Structure 1
Amino acid sequence: MNVKLKPLDQQTIVITGASSGIGRATALQAAAKGAKVVLAARSEDELRKVEQEITSKGGQALVVPTDVANRGDICRLADRAIDYFGGFDTWVNDAGISIWGRLDEVSDYDHRRLFETNFWGVSNGSLEAVKYLRRHGGALINVGSVASDVAIPLQGMYCASKHAIKGFTDALRMELEEVGAPVSVTLIKPAAINTPFPQHARNYMEKEPKLPPPVYEPEEVAAAILHAATHSERDIYVGGGGKLMSTLNKHLPRAMDRLSETLMVEQQKRNERPRKPQGSLHQPSHGGPVRGDHPGYVMKTSLYTRATMHPWAAGALMALVGAATVALLGGKRSKSTAATTPTTARAGLAPSLFNHPPVPAAQSPGPSTVGTTNQAGGGI
């Protein structure tokens, strides 16, 4: 079925995880484009701040405190959106949390809570949204991750939850398409994003957690989400670096394993003691800015993502990506290449995926909204 989606200024959009990071950025962008927004998260205080920012600029917003792991809260969220705005056109499941620590060191209690939020929160929201959308039409957008495709050490259960979200989202899409339901179902797969995500996470490490590069700004994810609200897309990768990691993991899984084993553990640790090890896994966070304070290089834009959202440019870009991938894969099936993969990863491939040069002073932005971050004008 050809799903017809409304322009943003005619939509009501429900957003979970709207108190900070990607969800907050999406709510602010949507409202700026004329959409009515329903703001959902556990912290009512933070949601009120987002509401005030929206309404002060003439936008319309509804605050509904919600724990996405609670099916009753999700039902109430849908009911409030319908009662207040007369329905909704797009539902965005963005709420999520992580745990930094080795799998055998994390408690079952914490592991279960993560899955209740990340996976069951998406399942609860999706199934409730579809009850309405299959009758009225619209878009369901689930925020997965590059971790839906590629596992990384120290965030094992987070990766497992994102793999589960991908399987659930793909199956739900097929079931809706099979019966001709007028619902677009999109999975968004961001790379690492500069939000307060590490500070909100439960931390078992001896150091403060850090995002592994490449890192992008949350506004780039928000733009992809709003594109999916008006264009029927199966999935969207945010960040060409993440897409490249996914492609390499598919074709060179053992090489990517070795690369992660060699680099990823230390890449996820800041050189400072843990700030708040408990994070907001079990309690709402206090303080919910859009951006985090990632200490390294952050790309404001992704040329790859923007091209995939514009078909006229996608063909040329994919040809370039394909050529680059072929060059990287090279003689991957030869025994000699396989034997030297770890060394090759450390010496050649690793810098291109996980490290970035310092940002020239001329490119440094003005004061950041949160902390100090090295930012570039754009990237793949």
Structure 2
Amino acid sequence: MGHRAVYYEVDVADAVAVEEAAERIEEELGAIDVWVNNAMNSVFSPIKKMKAEEYKRVTDVTYLGQVNGALSALKRMLPRDKGSIVFVGSALTYRGIPLQSAYCGAKHAVEGFYDSLRTELLHDKSKVKISIVQLPALNTTQFGFVKSRLPNKPQPMGTIYQPEVAADAILFAAENNRREMMVGWSTVKAIIGNKIAPWYADRVLANSAFKGQQTDEREDPNRENNVWEPIPGDHGAHGNFGEKAKNSSTVLWLSKNKKYVEGTILLLILLLVLWIILD
């Protein structure tokens, strides 16, 4: 597309490696304007079968990977007093579900770090922008890469979206100083619903989330997973659920066009008031 790109493969759990990559990127391309923290891994398993080292690894990648990225980005952006950092969250940032305790715990931690950082930047009157994007189920390759102890192959739960929808939201967040963006009605429903009636969400998930996170196809217990090392090769951006995945999100469109939507609603209210008064 007429632009130069470079990439470096590092383990985001290694803070030194992340910092070295940031240095090399700036040497190659110049000052970093936007930093997106997106790396994750997971283990699909009942808690009673999880191992301590698996919790540590998922936390190191999914949570501390975002912390390490933010620290390297802030090291460069704060002295310049400019730049944008995007954290990638999930509906599971607020609502834990069965069989993904390590991932849910890590995403909860990301939200806590994000909240703390945002208040510090506000206190310092910094012009560095940060946003967090809460994503729904996505048709990515992760479901074929995660470690799993489930009898059947794992699958995304709820409404599934193509990864381009997430990319659209992340780009918008990077360019606009939004505190938080929710993508997909399923994300809004999970987050708001959990605030209103977490006890109800407990029951629903206990009854539906075990089967809902598995396909009808048996899993190979010996297949490769990416908990400790990446699976070699270019696997693309899309997973195996393209036929079920949506290419757009009405909730995202409404969020991106928030000013126009609010303006339209206010105009309609004003017209209704005038109609009542003049009738």
TM-score (norm 1): 0.66
Instruction: Name 1:109's counterpart in structure 2.
Output: 53
Q: Judge conservation of contact 2:162–2:242 (CA < 8 Å) in 1.
A: no
Describe how 1:267-278 pairs up with structure 2 within 5 A. Answer: 267-275=212-220, 277-278=223-224
> Structure 2 matches for 1:41-52, cutoff 5 A?
none
Aligned to 1:283: 229
Q: 1:310 to 1:280 in 2, by over 3 A?
A: same
Matched, 1:223 2:177: no
Write the deviation string for residues 322-365 of structure 1: whole angstroms up to 9, x where unpaired: xxxxxxxxxxxxxxxxxxxxxxxxxxxxxxxxxxxxxxxxxxxx
Question: Where does 1:207-356 land on structure 2 (aligned, <5 Å)?
Answer: 207-275=152-220, 277-286=223-232, 287-294=234-241, 297-315=244-262
Q: 1:82 aligns with which of 19, 26, 43?
A: 26
Q: How many residues align?
A: 263
Helix, strand or coil at the partner of 2:131: strand
> How far 1:296 sits from its partner (Å)?
6.3
Alignment of 1:149-160 (within 5 A): 149-160=94-105
C-alpha displacement of 1:318: 9.3
Is 1:165 matched with 2:110?
Answer: yes
Greater relative contact order (Cα < 8 A, sep 6+): 2
* One-letter identity of the residue aligned with 1:305: L
Contiguous gaps of at least 5 residues in structure 1:
1-56, 320-380
* Counterpart position of 1:144: 89
Report the alpha carbon displacement of residue 206 of structure 1 after superposing the two structures with TM. Answer: 1.4
Alpha-carbon offset, residue 283 of structure 1:
1.2
Q: Distance in 2 between matches of 1:277 and 1:213?
A: 25
Retained in 1: the 8 A contact 2:36–2:88? Answer: yes
Contact 2:224 2:231 in 1 (8 A): no
- C-alpha distance in 1 between matches for 2:147 and 2:265: 38
Classify the secondary structure of the residue corresponding to 2:84. strand
SS in 2 for 1:72: helix
Structure 1 residue 177 displacement after superposition: 1.4
Contact 2:55–2:102 (CA under 8 A) maintained in structure 1: yes
Cα-to-partner distance string for 1:270-306 (whole Å, 9 max, x where unaligned) = 1112246441111112342111112763221111111
SS in 1 for 2:6: strand
Distance, in Å, in 1 between the alignment partners of 2:245 and 2:39 is 22
The one-letter amino acid of 1:289's match is: G
Question: How far did residue 311 of structure 1 move?
Answer: 2.0
Residue 174, structure 1, aligned to residue 105, structure 2? no
The CA distance in 2 between the partners of 1:211 and 1:238, in whole Å, is 15
Distance 2:197 2:16 in 1: 44
> What does 1:31-46 align with in structure 2 at a 5 Å threshold?
none
Cα offset for 1:314? 4.0
What is the match of residue 99 of structure 1?
A: 43
Q: Is the 8 Å Cα contact of residues 304 and 317 (structure 1) preserved in structure 2?
A: no
Segments ≥4 residues shifted beyond 6 Å:
316-319
Letter in 2 for 1:309: K
CA shift at 1:89, angstroms? 0.3
Letter in 2 for 1:213: G
Aligned CA distance change for structure 1 residues 180 and 316 (closer, same or farther; 3 Å)? closer
TM-score, normalised via structure 2 length: 0.90
Seen in structure 2, the aligned counterparts of structure 1 residues 318 and 298 have a Cα distance that, compared at 3 Å, is farther
Name the CA distance, whole Å, in 2 between partners of 1:106 and 1:307.
40
Identity %: 26
